[in-house]
Structure formats: C-alpha cells, structure tokens
Chain A
Amino acid sequence: MPTPEQLQTIHPPTWCPGCGNHSMWKALRQAISEMGWASNEFSMVWGIGCHGNGADFTLTQGMHALHGRALPPATALAMTRPDLHVIAEVGDGDCYGLGMGHFIHTLRRNPNMTIIAHDNQVYGLTTGQASPTTEHLMPSVSTPGGVLEQPANPIGLALAENATFVARGFAGDVEHLVGLYKQAFEHKGLALVDVLQPCVTWNKLNTAAWFRDRIYKLEETDWDASNRSAAFDLSMAAFREMTCTPDECRIPIGVIYRQEGVPTYEDGITAASTPGWRRASVPRDVSALVDALS
C-alpha cells in the first residue's frame, strides 16, 4: 500500500501558491494511504480544470478525461471493474457546468464510487470566469455586471436525487478532509464530497479567511446524518446564506447525509459482479442466438 509520498509523481504540483488544491491533494494521498489500498486496488478519473491537473501529480492507475466528462467513464469503470475502488476528481465548472447532466444522472444511479468536487466557485484554469456555484451578483471576467443566476446547489441536488452519501469539506482543514474522504471511500454506493476550495487567484470573495469565519463542523453538533429532510433543509439554508456576514450565518462542513445499505447500480446487474475483461478471452458461443433466428 502506497505512502502519501509514493502517490506522488516526478511532476511537482503547478497550482498557484496558496491554492486549496494543494491541501486537497495532501488529504487525498493521506486518506488513500490510510485506507491501506494497494496501488492496483483503486483507480482515479479526473475532469479538466486546475483540479484535473492533479492527474499529472498523482501516481496511480488513472485517466484524465474530458472537461465535464469524468463521471461517465468513472461510472463505467465501477460497473465493469468491481475489483477496483473508483474515485472521480471533478471541478465545479467541469461537473456542475458542462457535466451537470452526468452529475444528476450519476446521482440517480448510485454506482459504487466517490466523487470529490473541487468547488472553488470559479473556472480557474480558463482564467476566472463565473462557474455554476459562483455567488449571485459576484462579478467575473465573463460576468462583469455580476452573475445573474442563482448558484447551483450541489448538496441540495445530490439530496434531491437520492445520493446516499453527501458531505462537504473545506480545503483549509486537511485533517477533517482526510476523515471525510475515508468515510466516503468506505461507503458502499455513490459518495459526494463537495470541497470548498479557495482559488487565491480568481475568487477574491470566497477566500480561506472568509470560509474560516463561517464554517463549523457538524461532528461537533448533535447533527443526525440519517435525517434526509433535515439534511435537505440544511443544504438550502447553507446555500442561501452564503453572502451573509459571519455573524448572520455559518457554513456546515462534515457528513450532511449518509444512508448505508442502499443497493448500488451494480447490485442490479449480474454482469457487473465480474471484471468485464474476463469475458473477452475466448469467443462467446452465440449458437443459441443464431439458432433463434431460423
């Protein structure tokens, strides 16, 4: 099983100094290492964005997919490789923008995999345009007059689509994040960890300090993560109150909702119980299918 250092390639991270991606990457390597997974027991798929550049820095058996399209290949991997733990690393522009359709449908499916969303509320790699989670009226290069749409609510959407594990993390708290990642990896079914990831270069509003003033840990309260409607209320509250002052609102991080024992998508397909490549070593006998045509 790899140590955090062994999960690192010869290419050092190129993220801006102070970017939340650094600590998310650290937490990821720590969590995988603590899971005790051997390097051939898990596979990762990245979307395209600053977050996706992590593909170059992480030594694993992985795929750097297209912008917005990390979830379909990751899902297919989960469906055809039951012997692997599958992790998809996505961005908010990537997954909640271009890939929003896949996001919703992946939630509906409950495949056995983990989605880690780098939610920096901007498009980092393409120089700071507004993303679907950018706050209402925040200006950006693509929205100089401020974003006119209301932000997308990934936590609320996930709950609405019956996700079985929904958590929110903060890139500024690595130790907490490691705990969330591990719980997500251990969960059977789809786990979403949406991570508030400060982009020091383009997002001057939702900075690390801004988050620090507002976040609190659900574990430190008497939060009941099995209560779906309470989780839904919480997602709505947290989401609406992002623009308020630290005194007016607080942002919860931790496991918002968790439901164990729900059948995964793969549980519904017999073929998904064996690795798909096993079926292609010899030609399949189709004589019965051919006979049926006579």
Chain B
Amino acid sequence: MEQRAPYGNEVRIRIGGPAGFGIKAAGATLARVFARAGYRTFDLTEYPSLIKGGHNTIHLRVSEDEIFSHVTPTDILVALDAATIPLHLDELTDGGAIVFDPHDIAADAIELGDLAGRVCLVPVPLTDIVREVGGVRIMRNITALGAVLGHMGFPLEGLVDSLQRQFAHKDPSVAEQNVAAATRGFESAAESHCEFPYKLAPRTGEPTRILTDGNTATAIGALAGGLGFYAAYPMTPASTVLHYLAAHAEREGVVVKHTEDEIAAINMCIGAAFGGTRSMCATSGGGFSLMVEALGFAGVSETAIVVGLFTRPGPATGLPTWTEQSDLRFAIHAAQGEFPRVILAPGDQAEAFEFAWKALNIADQLQTPVILLGDTYLCENTQTVEPFDGAAVTIDRGAFQAEGSVTDYQRYAHSPTGVSLRAIPGVIGAEQLVNSYEHDEHGFGSPGEVAATRINQNAKRLTKMRLAASLVPAPREYGPREAELSFIVFGSTKMPVREAMKWLEADGISANMLQITTVWPFPAQEVFEFIERSKRTVVVEGNATGQLEGIIREFCMREPGHRINRFDGRPFSPEQIYETAHAIAGQPVPQRVSPEATGGDA
C-alpha cells in the first residue's frame, strides 16, 4: 500500500447529498464502526440551514495514528445524489473512488475531466437494493455504508453489529432490513472491478476510545460537575446540549427547561443558582446578545452561573450552521459596567468535558459568571477521545456560611479575595438581599448610591479577578520549547493547528503552539514570555479583525509577527495552516500535499 505522507495510514470518506438523506447519521454509524475496530476518527459535518434539500456532507477521517482535526482530501466519495459528484471531485485522491447510484446518474455521464483513469467509479444500485429488501428510501445511506466497506475490503461485521445495536429498540424488521441493505451494498461494491489502494484492517489491542462531539462532552462534563439546572432556548450550534440534557434529565435528576427565550433562560439560571443549585445555560451569539443584561446581573449580584457561548458567524442571524470565532471581544466586554468574569475556551472535545465541570467550580469559587466559549467546529464535530475521566472530577462549591452560626449575615461582606460567604435561602438567620442594584454589604440598595459604598463594592468584586487567575486553567503549550514557528491560538483552532504541526515536523520545520485556554483573565505574562522566546509568532484565529491579536498587543505590548485568519464560515483546515506556515518559514510547500486555497495572510 502506498504510504501517503504526511497523512499516514488513513482513509478519508465523504458522504454527500441533500438534507433529509440521513447523511450525518450514516457518517456517525461509520465512525463508530471504525472506532470500535481500533481506529481514530474525526468527522466534520457541513450543512446549510435547511431541513430538506441543500447540500449536506459528512467527511470522516479514519486513521491508525493520532489525529487532531479533519482534512480535505477524500479517498471515497459517497454521492447520494448526482449533484454531490462535481462539488467534491477536486478533493479526490489518486486511486480514490466514487460510490454512486446508477439510478441518479449513469456512469458514462459522470465528467471526471483530469481525474479520468485515476479514480474508480463504483456503481451501487442503492435505490433498487432498498426496494428489494423491502426498506424505505432513507436506507440508501446504510446501503452505501455497506458499499464503502465492500470497496475497501473491510469486514462487514462491525457495521452489522452497529445496526443491530442501533435498532435494538425497534421492530426487529427494521434491523433486518438495514442489515440486508448493508450486506447487499457490501456485495455489490465488492464486485466492482477496481482495487482500493489503501487497505485498513480491524486492529486489535487498541484501547477503548469514545466518540464524542463538543456539545455531548460539555453536557457530560457539566453533569459530572453536579449540574442541577439547565435552561436554554434552541440556537445552533448550542441546541444539542439542550437535547442531550433533556434526554438524560429524568435519570440524572436535573431540571432542564426549554424557556420562552434566552432572557428567561439566563434569568432562570440566576434564580436557581441563588437557591444554591449549580446552573448553566448555553446559546450562540444572537441568544447571548439577549442574555447580556442578565450577565451583568449575575456579576453585580455575585451569582455563580455558567453560560455557554457557542459561536457561529455573525452579525445577527449570520451563517447559522457554520463556524467562526468572532465573539471573543463580545464575550469579554458583554454587559454594561465592570465586573469579574471568567472565560474558558476549550480547544477540543476532551477539554469541553474538562472545562465544563471546572467552569461550575470556578463560578462557585468566585461567585460570578463563567463563560464557556466554543464554536460550531468544536460543538458539532465528533472525534475519538480517551474516555472522560470521571475520577478526575472534583467539586468545590466555594465559601459558604456555616449553618447555625449566622448572626447579622452580610451577603456582600468584604474579604481579601473579594469573595463573601454565601448562604442560600433556607439557612436559618440568613436574611439577605441579592441585588441587581449596587448595594451595601447586606445587599440593600438604598445606600448603594452613596459613593463610598459603590467604590467599596465595585472594588471588592473586581478583586476576585486576582483569585480567578489562580483558579483557571493555565495556557497549554504543545511542541518543542524552541521552534521555528510559534502559533498562538484559542478554542477549536487548536485542533487543525496541532495537525498542521505534525506535518510541519515531518518536513523538518519545528513548530510549537500556545493555546490560550482561559481567555479571561487574559494570561498576559505567559503570552508575553512565549512571544519573547519565539522566533516567529503566528496568531491563528477564526475572525476577520484579529481580535486575539489585538488583545495580545494590548496586554503584552508585543507585536505578533504573523496572522492567519478565516471568516468564511468554514473551519481552518490543517492544509491551510500548513501551507501558510511553510510560506512564513520561507520554504516552498512540498508537492505531495495539495493545500486548500483560502485566505492565509502571512
């Protein structure tokens, strides 16, 4: 088999077609089959904001090696309609294949252009097979999965097993039809004349890995951290946190509320948190815009809540189903006035789990809102990770007024850390007022308009930022300490940059990366030191104006050398970073990788 450095031993499969064809479900099933067979996978779903129609795809990367992100090249293109073929033809690799239904398009009507003779056509009568097994039209997707495995020469058992588990709760005929369709697809593709050059076989002895998207990881992380209340109004890409938690609410004992709007969601969180319950809400930029006033309410009232801000391209409704990192400044500055806040930006699915429970702790320890900053690329895409470590989870609820010892309780008493003892309603003697107005130590608003009270309380709250710096995750560094190129990133950009670093290393270009895991309080000292010892710094962020870059200038008084920005709604591809990094390092890009042509600015 041909080793395609720098990709290693892996296969990339894209399934495309109109919405409603079960594309994401098919990709998820296939990912599970390979994950259970000992492979690492990463899948990227791309879809416009349509329920039926439009062009949807899932791109699944399956590898023996550690992988960090999606890539662009495709070895097997599964076209569930004819329109998919021309849209993805230029991604196909030498020896690649197109699995299609002759019902949609005749083989000789497919225009391969330059690729003629270099890719293989695998006609599979998906429509006919589904009809013959007595199934419904949507089962063309499962039939196609059988065909993919057949073409690859990968055993069918894993898929059969997955289908049986998946449909175990339904009428047995459903599983039977799906298995029959997959088997027929498998046989049909195996009969095709071309050999698939990249062979993968089931692997043994691999550790068990789980498959998760960022939102599932966040939801489970929050549950591990003792979440008791979750409220949200649906908005892509945050909605599936609501779905996951709603589905598990009963068993896990969480009150999950789909509210009338985002304003109610965050205000409910504040009410539940006031009552002592660990509370969280999540939304995207539009919903966060509505939450802004209450974010300040949580700040001034010193209420511990966690708010997920899972971004997509804005302004306003923007590109609902695509990704962007342009709400960084918005998260930092949202709401009038000045109050302490913490913003954690998980960079991959494992960190989504970790930061969710940590966010609940930090919110309680500081008694202030904590924002989890994510984006569509992190939220919706699935990869194999080590099983979440529940044993690592700890709960720290912060400073509580001991029961029974309450006399003249002051909710907002001064303290060196700025954090006061908390007593939830129900504690005998804990009369208190938790107030959205400026207030005195007891919470009363009337004297809040006295200048001294205002200064004292505002200063007390802001003091918490010092404690915050010692509680939050520190920046994380990857790669060698000294390197040719030094990337600075926050959030999901970590994933494609790590992938690109692997390829650069293979080319003899050393690269390292500083991942800013806590964007607020901004880790100025660490970033400063990283820049000081870097030869060439490259800030990679998914927005047009270089928001992180500007913050670095502001806090570190250093000029980051280079930038790579992207704001077309698409996630950074490792190819784009790799190519631009090569240019920055002053070396031509080796021919073996065909990079994507999207706006890098060295």
Contact = CB atoms under 8 A, between A and B. Distances in A.
B223 A286 contact: yes
Contacts of B426: 40-41, 43, 61, 81, 83-84, 275
Interface string B295-317: 00100010000000000000000
A36 B467 CA distance: 43
A40 B401 CA distance: 15
Given A62-B432, A73-B268, A277-B275, A286 B254 contact: no
A38 B426 CA distance: 9
Interface stretch (B106-114, B137-145, B175-183, B388-396): B388-396
Interface string B444-487: 11110000000000000000000000000000000000000000
Interface string A15-49: 00000000000000000000000111101010010
Interface in A264-278: 269-272, 274-277
B235 interface: no
Interface stretch (B93-101, B225-233, B502-510, B588-596): B225-233
B252 interface: yes
A287 interface: yes
B271 A75 contact: yes
Contacts of A289: 220, 223, 248
Contacts of B36: 294
A77 B231 CA distance: 13
B269 interface: yes
Interface string B197-236: 0000000000011111000100010011111110100000
Nearest to A283: B393
A55 B275 contact: no
Nearest to B221: A286
Contacts of B360: 280
B2 interface: no
Contacts of A285: 390
B278 A276 contact: yes
Given A62-B432, A63-B433, A40 B278 contact: no
A81 B427 CA distance: 12
B547 interface: no
Nearest to B430: A61
Nearest to A277: B276
B225 A283 contact: yes
Contacts of B388: 286, 290
B267 A293 contact: no
A65 B210 CA distance: 42
Nearest to A88: B271
Nearest to A38: B428
A209 interface: no
Given A69-B294, A80-B228, A271-B249, A276 B274 contact: no
B155 interface: no
Nearest to A294: B210
B263 interface: yes
A101 interface: yes
Contact of A84 (B257, B275, B436): B275
Interface string B389-430: 010011101000000000000000000000000001111111
B260 interface: yes
A126 interface: no
Contacts of A43: 275, 425-426
A102 interface: yes
Contacts of A63: 270-271, 274, 301, 433-435
B115 interface: no
Contacts of A101: 260-261, 264
Contacts of B225: 280, 283-284
A198 B401 CA distance: 41
A81 B434 CA distance: 17
B102 to A, nearest CB: 37
A244 interface: no
B529 interface: no
B271 A73 contact: yes
A53 B229 CA distance: 29
B238 to A, nearest CB: 18
Given A276-B275, A293-B210, A293-B211, A269 B255 contact: yes
A290 B435 contact: no
A270 B395 contact: no
A61 B432 contact: yes
B278 to A, nearest CB: 5
Given A271-B250, A277-B276, A286 B224 contact: yes
Q: Which of A72, A287, A290 has the most CB of B within 10 A?
A: A72
A287 B264 CA distance: 32
A26 to B, nearest CB: 19
A279 B226 contact: yes
B319 to A, nearest CB: 27
Contacts of B279: 76
Contacts of B576: none
A289 B270 CA distance: 27
A143 interface: no
Contacts of A40: 425-430
Interface string A52-80: 01011001111111100100111111011
Nearest to B394: A283
Nearest to B219: A289
A269 B258 CA distance: 13
Contacts of A41: 426
Interface in B258-297: 259-261, 263-265, 267-272, 274-279, 293-294, 297
A14 interface: yes
A20 B259 CA distance: 34
Q: Which of A73, A277, A279, A290 has the most CB of B within 10 A?
A: A73
Interface string B522-535: 00000000000000
A285 B397 CA distance: 18
A105 interface: yes
A276 B252 CA distance: 12
Contact of B433 (A64, A76, A277): A64
Contacts of B394: 283
A221 interface: no
A76 B390 contact: no
B275 A80 contact: yes
Contacts of B208: 294
Contacts of B209: 294
B397 A280 contact: yes
Contact of A59 (B265, B424, B431, B445): B431
Contacts of A38: 428
A290 B253 contact: no
Contact of B271 (A56, A77, A282): A77
Interface in A131-181: none
Given A40-B430, A61-B425, A294-B209, A279 B436 contact: no
17 contacts: A9-B444, A11-B444, A55-B433, A64-B437, A64-B443, A69-B264, A73-B267, A76-B231, A80-B271, A84-B425, A101-B264, A105-B264, A276-B276, A284-B227, A290-B388, A294-B211, A294-B387
Closest 4 CB pairs of A and B: A73-B271, A276-B277, A280-B226, A277-B276
Given A55-B433, A105-B259, 20 more contacts: A63-B435, A64-B435, A65-B271, A66-B294, A69-B297, A73-B271, A74-B271, A76-B257, A76-B267, A76-B279, A77-B274, A77-B425, A79-B229, A102-B263, A270-B253, A272-B255, A277-B275, A279-B254, A279-B278, A281-B395
